[in-house]
Amino acid sequence: MAKIDFGGVVEEVITAEEFTLEKAREVLQDETIAVLGYGVQGPGQALNMRDNGIRVIVGQREGTASWEKAKADGFVPGDTLVSIEAAARNGTIVQNLLSDAGQVATWDLVKSCLNPGDALYFSHGFAVVYRDQTGIVPPENVDVILAAPKGSGTTVRTNFLDGSGINSSFAIHQDYTGRARERTLAVGIAIGSGYLFPTTFEKEVYSDLTGERGVLMGCLAGVMEAQYNLLRKNGHSPSESFNETVEELTQSLIRLVAQQGMDWMYANCSTTAQRGALDWAPKFRDAVAPVFETLYENVISGEETRRVLAANSAPDYREKLNKELAEIHESEMWRAGQAVRALRPENRNT
């Protein structure tokens, strides 16, 4: 492990230089990785492992769009693309990458397929941590492990292809074989992690659910909408409102933050922008702090889990989701976004 100073707090992380891909291949040489589900995380992790020379089979329900996607990606029906049950039976490391609701619905089947000494792998602590709601209690004779990429499944793949990798957390919930740690790290490296940092199943799911609902998605979307609507209400054009709310953030400022941090972004903006941002940041921090407190309490209590499982298990969930997403897509703000993106130099017809 490398000891890294994270702003005065020293943490131990595993880098791809310390736990190399060659070592991961050695650890996994006698393993078959069964990837259950080919929706969000499944494609990126399965394809990266396959490209890294790991034996991978995909378990997916035949006749679905995900089955067709896996087939188009080169997984062969009846060989490396099989039913969920067949994959779970034949895998020695069973990656349960189905949706949270899907994991609940298929748990009895998956559990019956596990053999002593297998590893049950998750990329999210949800199912195990909220077992009182999900009913997912792993048997005692398997390893229960986690590697959680800090990004979408799409990014797991695109970062792998451009050689940058993606950061992942890892955790061991149950070590039956005595090999759980090396199996976890080997898979973590094989799926394309640049470095891995230790956590627990509980901390992973608490931080993940908070982050998704907060800064990463929910808060970001809500704040963007509030500012865009304010500008429009005060007579600014859709183009101006969208550029000042979204385009400048995504195409310029956030890239400076990614390069060297928030202070670097401030240092590369005008003095007027610097002063305004530094003065107003605490006001926004203090305004949203109570919302984050409530959010975290709901995550810890399991209230978020109950609501999510109830909604995602409804037979008309996909229909309702598509309606919600369509409303966002058709809103003025994001229609303005389509127009602005079309005007980027790389998207204009020449």
CB 303 within 8 A of CB 296: no
Name the residue with tokens 């953030």: 249
CA 129 to chain centre: 17
Which helix (H) or strand (E) is 96 found in, with range? strand 93-96
Integer Cα distance of 153 and 42 in angstroms = 7
Distance CA 332, CA 231 (A): 13
Query: Catalytic annotation on 124?
Result: yes
Retrieve residue 144's tokens. Answer: 């229960």
Q: Report residue 134 as tokens.
A: 């999900």
- Residue in 124, 173, 236, 329 annotated catalytic: 124
* Token digits of residue 248: 């400048």
Q: Which residues contact 273 (CB under 8 A, 6 or more apart)?
A: 266
Q: Render 263-285 in DSSP notation, one character per residue.
A: HHHHHTS-HHHHHHHHHHHHHHH
Q: How many residues does the chain have?
A: 350
CB 148 within 8 Å of CB 204: yes
Contact at 8 Å (CB) between 150 and 124? no
Residues whose CB falls within 8 Å of the CB of residue 295, separated by 6 or more in sequence, listed in order? 210, 213, 214
Classify 245 as helix, strand or coil: helix
Q: What are the φ and ψ backbone dihedral angles of 11, each rounded to 5 degrees?
A: -120, 155
What DSSP assignment string belongs to 18-39? TS-HHHHHHHHTT--EEEE--S
| Active-site residue set | 124
